[in-house]
Amino acid sequence: MNKEKYFKNNAMLSVKYWLGILLVLPFVVSAQSQQLDLNSAIMMAQKKSPDYKNIVNQTQGSYWRFQNYKAGLMPQLRLDATIPSYSNSVRRITNDNGDDVFVSQNQSLFETNLSLVQNVPFTGGSFAVSSNLQRIDRYGGDGYTNYNVTPFSINYYQKSLFYNPFKWDKKIEPLMYEESKRDYVEKMELVSMRTCRLYFGLLTAQMQMEIAKKDLLNQETLYKIAQGRFKMGKIAENELLQMELALLNSKNTVTTNTISVKRTSQDLARFLGLETEEMSLSIPETLIPFSVDVDKAMEEAQANRKSVIEFRRRRLQAEQKLAEVKGNNRLEINLNANFGLSNQHEDFDQLYQNFNQQQSVTLRVGIPIFDWGVSKSRRKMAESDLALVNTNVAQDEQAFEQEIYLHVLNWSNQRDFLAIAEKAKIVAEKRYEITNKRYVLGKITITDLNLAQEEKDKSVVKYLFSLQNFWNDYYTLRRLTLYDFIQNEKITLQDLLFD
């Protein structure tokens, strides 16, 4: 009896010693690691993560595309100059009699052209006002200087009278820009979701490491107790070997979890742009209770999501393609009209006197007479593409609504799942404490103890998974509706300045 009591006392002292170390260890580690909670991690990810940088680059591209579209609607002033173009060669020309002759040329050309171009969205053409000045210097025995000026010239050009690309750009380009802004907000919520996944990945690994270390200490203590009981003949060798095997498995678990903590800490540190991989994470608390109405969620999604804009844009682009095919399919009409003043003289001072008028109108018509059905097939393909887009968009709209509906229903049950997981964790931990004490007193077998320990460890991990699902579903809800149901406000685009 005294021998058994001796082993029990040593075992209890060993347990208290290691528990004391475990209580002090977190404070030592936290002093050397960075304290981090889920909210601060998300804020860091939305400013430093690679995903954030990619999102900003994509939004910048859409921003400058829209700026390019708006600039194309404004007048464009351009100066072109040739200063000079010199040539000293023999060239073949056709004389007034229609004969080809070779002549020697030794001359230079100076030319400047100032033009103001304005696209006309109402008609689909381009309107230009220009001014041109040319000077030719011929060198040699019969050298001379000659000038040609067009002080004022008006030109209008339209590629097709039946298809106006500016009208369609006016409908589509603003939609594409609005779609990109909403896409930015949605992808920022995806950043939150990925941060949540990486955060809980490390938190779970750290928790499993802590559990593994505690289990290892308990196994060492229990193995010592089993050795004492075996020497006293109270247990069989089989039970002692089973305890030794459990001890070895606990050591392997600690090694495995050490690698897991290292990997997950590297993943989170790289994603957040941290210089250290030593992080002390806190367990996130649950949000304040709030309910989500399906109709409210659907209304906000219809008003805020990029998918709604995308559906309209895809239909318009298919309609644009069909309109272009119809406009250019059977009768092609191009218009080019010009009016201006011009003069040429050897004396520069005489250039701006007695101008000659210049005007021209060119109307080009193209009519396919027999093309083996090429025109018809183009139109039918465009009509088929439009019908296919309408069908796909209709299916995507149904999937869009179904995703929101199902997620709102899932969210309403997620808090209950979390509460049950938390209760199960508390029960499993309490059961293990009781089972451990009963084993120390020799009232149950090692099998019962191992089962209680396994259920306790699983319940802790399941609780963390349930907590991760809770937060992941919360940010999914935000992404699907672009609405903050806690603050009761829309999630909007933060100010981005593009230089």
Encode pLDDT of 25-46 as tens digits. 444 344 456 888 999 999 999 8
Q: Within a domain: residue 382?
A: no
Q: Within a domain: residue 182?
A: yes
Maximum mean pLDDT: which of 238-242, 262-266, 363-367: 262-266
Q: Within a domain: residue 322?
A: no
Give the CATH number of the domain where residue 259 resides: 1.20.1600.10
305, 174: one domain: yes
In percent, the amount of the chain with pLDDT more than 70 equals: 91
Residue 460: what pLDDT?
A: 86
> pLDDT-based confidence at 23, cuts 50/70/90?
very low
356, 296: one domain: no
Q: Indicate whether 132 pLDDT > 80.
A: yes
Q: Within a domain: residue 69?
A: no
Which residues are 153's β-sheet partners? 130, 340
Residue 1: what pLDDT?
A: 42
Q: Indicate whether 463 pLDDT > 70.
A: yes
296, 400: one domain: yes
> pLDDT-based confidence at 395, cuts 50/70/90?
very high
Average pLDDT, rounded, for the chain: 83
> 204 lies in which domain range?
2-64+170-313+391-490
Q: Within a domain: residue 140?
A: yes
> pLDDT-based confidence at 497, cuts 50/70/90?
low
440, 475: one domain: yes
Q: Indicate whether 5 pLDDT > 80.
A: no
147, 184: one domain: no
Q: Within a domain: residue 252?
A: yes
346, 220: one domain: no
Residue 22: what pLDDT?
A: 42
- 455 close to 432: Cβ distance less than 8 angstroms: yes
CA quadruple 242, 248, 254, 259: dihedral sign:
negative
Mean pLDDT of 240-259: 88
Q: Domains in the chain: how many in total? A: 2
Residue 443: what pLDDT?
A: 80
461, 419: one domain: yes
pLDDT in tens, 269-312: 999 988 888 888 888 887 787 888 889 999 999 999 999 999 99
Q: Within a domain: residue 362?
A: yes
Mean pLDDT of 374-387: 88
Q: Indicate whether 421 pLDDT > 60.
A: yes
134, 28: one domain: no
274, 423: one domain: yes
pLDDT in tens, 39-83: 999 999 988 899 999 999 999 999 999 999 999 889 999 998 887
Q: Within a domain: residue 372?
A: no
Amino acid at 3: K
206, 264: one domain: yes
153, 177: one domain: no
Higher pLDDT residue, 101 or 331?
101
For residue 304, what are its two tokens? 């805020």
> pLDDT-based confidence at 225, cuts 50/70/90?
confident
Burial class (CB in 10 A: 0-12, 13-18, 19+), 497: exposed
25, 98: one domain: no
Name the pTM for this structure.
Answer: 0.76
Higher pLDDT residue, 270 or 229?
270
